[in-house]
């Protein structure tokens, strides 16, 4: 089985952090966001992964070189939307395939979702979560029968799914479109579109707060994520120099940072390459010379 990671967004809601570091390369404690999803997929048995890129594409491509020929990259000339992004991969997939939003980190058991999809053979099997967003109504036998733009049901699409290659026959004719347009076309056709509500740790890294929150939860042992290594509430990357002993609450310091003795850090995430000579940083992200309070 192959997979697709949607990774072309600009990360505008995470600015100014993403002005310096592409969203897909932001660290989540000890691992980069994109690496977390790639390695989860490989550990599930996925053989090859497609990734679409747009913002900071060359920087991300350089990072992906370590995966050799197991990762297939398409750089979009213009953003195609969450649905249009799949068009460039039509010939990449020969069978059912996994689709993951690059923004999402979860501990969902992908093997369970893949197994369910293979057993029932719908057009797509979507993981559902109780969260804000476009709402999906799940009817009999886990079939999705309606999509709302208001809070009519508790469920929204978690950005993780298994698609049959039949999904391409439901694409609109235009070049740019949302995956929601595709899902609505499937529902209108009466073909099965399945929704599986899941109990899981789930984060959509789409704001400074949610980026801070995943660090808060992981480092305080409130969420356990595969492949994230931490043994206490303080993580300091091996390549960083941290002189201060004023580390309180949870603290995550990324690669190649230099933190002076006069700095106070409390419930703070320090992004790679930051140099901090002094100051009191609480409940915030620190990126270079920028402080983003959450």
- Find the Cα–Cα–Cα–Cα dihedral 98, 104, 105, 107, rounded to 10°: -50
pTM: 0.92
Sign of the torsion formed by the C-alpha atoms of 146, 129, 102 and 122: negative
Instruction: Output 152 or 108, whichever has higher pLDDT.
Output: 108
Domain boundaries, the chain: 2-203, 231-293
Query: Could you report the per-residue pLDDT of 164-192, keeping only the tens digit for each?
Result: 999 999 999 888 899 999 999 999 998 99
226 confidence band (pLDDT: 50, 70, 90): confident
Cβ 102 vs Cβ 220: under 8 Å: no
pLDDT tens sequence across 92-147: 998 899 999 999 999 999 999 999 999 999 999 999 998 888 889 998 889 999 88
Specify the pairing of strand 27-28 against strand 31-32: antiparallel
**Is domain 2-203 classified as CATH 3.40.50.620?**
no
Q: What is the DSSP string of 12-81?
A: GGGTTHHHHS-GGG-EETTEEHHHHHHHHHHHHT--EEEEEE-TTHHHHHHHHGGGGGGEEEEE-SS--H
């Amino acid at each position: 089985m192959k997979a697709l990671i949607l990774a072309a967004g600009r990360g505008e809601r995470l600015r100014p952090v993403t002005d310096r570091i592409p969203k897909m390369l932001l660290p989540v404690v000890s691992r980069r966001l994109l690496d977390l999803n790639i390695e989860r997929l490989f550990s599930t048995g996925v053989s090859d992964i497609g990734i679409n890129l747009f913002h900071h594409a060359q920087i991300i491509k350089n990072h992906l070189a370590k995966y050799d020929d197991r990762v297939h990259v398409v750089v979009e000339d213009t953003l195609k939307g969450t649905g249009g992004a799949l068009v460039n991969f039509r010939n990449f997939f020969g069978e059912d395939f996994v689709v993951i939003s690059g923004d999402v980190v979860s501990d969902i058991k992908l093997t369970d979702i893949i197994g369910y999809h293979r057993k029932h053979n719908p057009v797509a099997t979507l993981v559902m979560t109780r969260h804000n967003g476009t709402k999906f109504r799940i009817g009999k036998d886990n079939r999705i029968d309606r999509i709302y733009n208001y809070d009519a049901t508790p469920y929204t699409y978690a950005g993780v799914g298994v698609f049959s290659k039949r999904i391409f026959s439901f694409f609109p004719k235009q070049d740019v479109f949302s995956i929601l347009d595709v899902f609505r076309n499937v529902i209108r056709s009466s073909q099965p579109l399945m929704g599986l509500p899941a109990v899981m740790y789930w984060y959509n890294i789409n704001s400074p707060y949610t980026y801070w929150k995943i660090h808060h939860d992981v480092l305080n042992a409130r969420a356990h994520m595969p492949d994230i290594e931490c043994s206490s509430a303080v993580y300091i990357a091996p390549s960083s120099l941290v002189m201060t002993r004023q580390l309180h609450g949870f603290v995550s310091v990324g690669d190649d940072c230099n933190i002076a003795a006069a700095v106070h850090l409390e419930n703070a995430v320090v992004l790679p390459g930051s140099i901090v000579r002094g100051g009191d940083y609480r409940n915030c992200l620190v990126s270079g010379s920028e402080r983003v309070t959450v």
